[in-house]
C-alpha cells in the first residue's frame, strides 16, 4: 500500500520553468485619448462602454473660447475650402464675420483672416474689380463694333473711289475729244482726290481702334492676373487659419481617434483638473489582438520549445488578485543576440486573466513570464534534483 504522503506528493504539480521578462505588443491596439492642454474639464460625453465613431466629441477642456462656436467656424471653413477647390468661388457660402466674437485664443488669428476675406471679396462678383472688368469688356465690345463699322465704311469708300476713278478717266477721254471743258475736268479730278484723301483717314481710325482694343485687353489681362494672385493669397490665408483652428481643436477638444468602445482606467469627471498629456480614456476598436515578445537567455535555450505553456504576471496587477494570463510559445528565432533568442508568445485569451479579469493594454506594458519547460509532480522534481546532485 502506497503511503499517503507519497500519494499526495505524486498529485502535487511542481513543474520545471524558466523566468524571463516580456513586452506586450498589439495588433490594432486600443487608442488612448490624451489631453493636450492642462486645465479644467468643462464638458464630458464619454462613458464606459459607449460606442463611438472616429471624430466623435468626447469632451471639452477649459478655454477662453466657446467650443461650439469654433466647431461651427471650422465646418464653414471646410465648406469654403471645398467651394474654392471646385471653382465655385462666386457661389461660396461666406462667413458672417460678425457672428464669431467668442473664439478666445483664436480671436486674433480670426481678425487677420477676416481682413483677408474683406480684401478678397472686392475681387468677387459684385466687387470693385469684377465691376471694373465688366466695364472693360463692355468697352472692348463697343470698340469691336466700331471697328466693324469702320471696315464697312472703308469698303464703301474704296468702291466709291473706284467709281470716281472711272468717272475721271471718262472725263479725260471727253476732254481729249473736246466734249467737256477743262474746268469740268478739274472739278472731277478734285472730287477724285477728295475721295482718295478720305481712305487714309478711315484707315488711321481703324489703327487707333485696334490700339484701343489692345489697351483694353491688356487691362483685362492685368486685372485677371491680380484676381488670380489675390485668390492664391486668400487660399493661403484660408489654409493657414484652418490649420490654426485645427491646432486649437486638438488642444481643447477631446475626440475619438478611431471607431470603437470607450474604456476608462481611472475616474474622470466634469470640472476635474486635468494635467497636460494626461490619459482620459481608451477607445477599443473591438478587434484588438495581443501577443508577447520575450528574449530567452542562451543558457536556457535548449529547454525551450514551440507549444510550451507560458504564465504571465503583470507587476501593475498583483496576480493574487488579478490572476495570470496564459500563453503559448508560437515562434522561436534561431539567431541569437546579446539579449538572447527572440520568441513570440501567443495569448489565446488576449489579456483576460485566470481570475476573469482584463488587463488594460497600454504601450510599453510589460510582464514577468514563467515558461513551463517540463510538467512534473513533486516526486519527479525531487528525483531529478537528487540525480543532478549525484553528478557533482
Please report where in the chains the cell 471653382 appears, as a residue: 87
pLDDT of amino acid 300: 74
Do residues 242 and 298 share a domain? no
Mean pLDDT calculated for residue range 293-312: 88
Please give the residue range of the domain that contains residue 361: 10-29+288-391
Do residues 295 and 248 share a domain? no
Residue predicted with more confidence, 165 or 75: 75
Coil, strand or helix: which one is 130?
Answer: helix
pLDDT of amino acid 70: 96
- Express each pLDDT in 117-144 by its tens digit: 888 887 776 667 777 888 888 888 888 8
Do residues 69 and 52 share a domain? no
d(CA 260, CA 195): 92
Residue 34 lies in a domain: no
Residue 2 lies in a domain: no
Radius of gyration of the chain (CA): 46
Confidence of residue 164 (pLDDT cuts 50, 70, 90): confident
pLDDT of amino acid 133: 81
% of the chain at pLDDT higher than 70? 87
Q: Within 10 A of 203 (CB to CB), how many other CB atoms are there?
A: 13
Do residues 100 and 245 share a domain? yes
Do residues 120 and 43 share a domain? no
pTM exceeds 0.75, yes or no: no
Q: Is the pLDDT of residue 377 over 60?
A: no
CATH number, domain containing residue 14: 2.40.30.170
Query: Looking at residue 28, what DSSP letter applies?
Result: S
Produce one character per residue of 292-307: b if its CB has 16 or more CB atoms within 10 Å, e if not: bebbbeeebeeebeee
Q: Is the pLDDT of residue 27 over 60?
A: yes
Q: Pairing relation of β-strands 341-346 and 325-336? A: antiparallel
Confidence of residue 192 (pLDDT cuts 50, 70, 90): low
| Lowest mean pLDDT across 209-223, 263-277, 311-325 | 209-223
Do residues 310 and 385 share a domain? yes
Residue 4 lies in a domain: no
Confidence of residue 3 (pLDDT cuts 50, 70, 90): low
- Express each pLDDT in 334-359 by its tens digit: 888 888 899 999 999 989 999 999 88
Please report where in the chains the cell 500519494 appears, as a residue: 7
Cα angle, residue 31 at apex, residues 26 and 33 outer, rounded to 5°: 155
Do residues 102 and 239 share a domain? yes
Residue predicted with more confidence, 348 or 159: 348
Do residues 228 and 375 share a domain? no
Mean pLDDT calculated for residue range 59-85: 93
Residue predicted with more confidence, 216 or 11: 216
| Lowest mean pLDDT across 82-96, 253-267, 312-326, 374-388 | 374-388
Residue 3 lies in a domain: no
Confidence of residue 392 (pLDDT cuts 50, 70, 90): very low
Please, what is the average pLDDT of the chain?
Answer: 83
Domain count, the chain: 3
Burial class (CB in 10 A: 0-12, 13-18, 19+), 312: buried
Do residues 320 and 262 share a domain? no
H helix or E strand, kind and range, residue 41? strand 39-44
- Express each pLDDT in 357-367 by its tens digit: 988 888 889 99
pLDDT of amino acid 107: 95
pLDDT of amino acid 4: 53
pLDDT of amino acid 231: 86
Within 13 A of 382's CA, how many CA atoms are on the CB side?
8
Residue where a domain terminates, one of 280, 315, 342: 280
Within 13 A of 141's CA, how many CA atoms are on the CB side?
6
Residue 5 lies in a domain: no
H helix or E strand, kind and range, residue 382? helix 378-391
% of the chain at pLDDT higher than 90? 42
d(CA 324, CA 349): 11
Do residues 86 and 229 share a domain? yes
Residue 80 lies in a domain: yes
Do residues 344 and 264 share a domain? no
pLDDT of amino acid 93: 64
Main-chain dihedrals φ then ψ at residue 349, nearest 5 degrees: -100, 20
Residue 1 lies in a domain: no
CATH number, domain containing residue 234: 1.10.287
Do residues 136 and 192 share a domain? yes
pLDDT of amino acid 380: 46
Mean pLDDT calculated for residue range 300-306: 83
Amino acid at each position: 500500500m502506497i503511503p499517503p504522503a507519497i500519494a499526495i506528493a505524486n498529485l502535487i504539480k511542481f513543474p520545471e520553468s524558466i523566468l524571463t521578462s516580456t513586452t506586450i505588443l498589439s495588433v490594432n491596439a486600443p487608442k488612448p485619448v490624451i489631453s493636450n492642454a492642462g486645465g479644467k474639464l468643462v464638458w464630458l460625453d464619454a462613458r464606459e462602454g459607449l460606442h463611438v465613431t472616429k471624430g466623435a466629441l468626447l469632451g471639452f477642456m477649459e478655454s477662453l473660447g466657446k467650443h461650439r462656436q469654433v466647431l461651427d467656424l471650422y465646418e464653414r471653413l471646410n465648406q469654403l475650402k471645398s467651394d474654392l477647390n471646385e471653382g465655385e468661388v462666386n457661389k461660396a457660402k461666406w462667413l458672417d464675420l460678425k457672428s464669431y466674437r467668442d473664439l478666445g485664443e483664436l480671436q486674433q488669428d480670426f481678425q487677420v483672416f477676416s481682413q483677408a476675406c474683406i480684401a478678397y471679396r472686392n475681387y468677387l462678383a459684385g466687387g470693385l474689380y469684377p465691376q471694373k472688368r465688366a466695364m472693360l469688356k463692355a468697352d472692348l465690345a463697343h470698340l469691336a463694333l466700331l471697328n466693324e463699322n469702320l471696315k464697312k465704311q472703308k469698303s464703301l469708300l474704296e468702291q466709291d473711289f473706284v467709281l470716281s476713278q472711272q468717272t475721271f478717266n471718262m472725263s479725260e477721254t471727253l476732254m481729249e475729244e473736246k466734249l467737256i471743258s477743262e474746268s469740268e475736268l478739274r472739278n472731277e479730278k478734285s472730287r477724285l482726290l477728295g475721295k482718295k484723301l478720305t481712305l487714309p483717314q478711315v484707315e488711321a481710325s481703324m489703327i487707333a481702334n485696334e490700339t484701343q482694343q489692345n489697351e483694353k485687353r491688356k487691362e483685362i489681362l492685368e486685372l485677371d492676373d491680380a484676381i488670380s494672385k489675390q485668390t492664391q493669397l486668400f487660399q493661403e490665408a484660408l489654409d493657414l487659419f484652418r490649420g490654426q483652428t485645427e491646432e486649437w481643436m486638438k488642444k481643447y477638444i477631446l475626440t475619438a481617434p478611431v471607431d470603437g468602445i470607450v474604456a476608462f482606467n481611472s475616474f474622470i469627471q466634469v470640472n476635474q483638473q486635468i494635467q497636460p498629456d494626461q490619459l482620459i480614456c481608451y477607445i477599443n476598436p473591438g478587434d484588438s489582438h495581443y501577443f508577447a515578445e520575450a528574449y530567452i537567455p542562451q543558457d536556457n535555450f535548449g529547454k525551450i520549445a514551440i507549444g510550451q505553456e507560458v504564465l504571465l504576471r503583470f507587476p501593475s496587477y498583483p496576480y493574487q488578485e488579478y490572476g495570470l494570463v496564459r500563453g503559448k510559445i508560437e515562434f522561436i528565432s534561431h539567431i541569437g543576440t546579446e539579449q538572447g533568442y527572440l520568441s513570440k508568445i501567443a495569448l489565446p485569451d488576449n489579456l483576460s486573466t485566470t481570475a476573469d479579469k482584463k488587463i488594460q493594454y497600454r504601450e510599453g506594458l510589460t510582464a514577468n513570464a514563467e515558461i513551463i519547460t517540463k510538467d512534473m509532480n513533486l516526486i519527479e522534481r525531487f528525483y531529478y534534483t537528487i540525480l543532478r546532485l549525484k553528478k557533482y
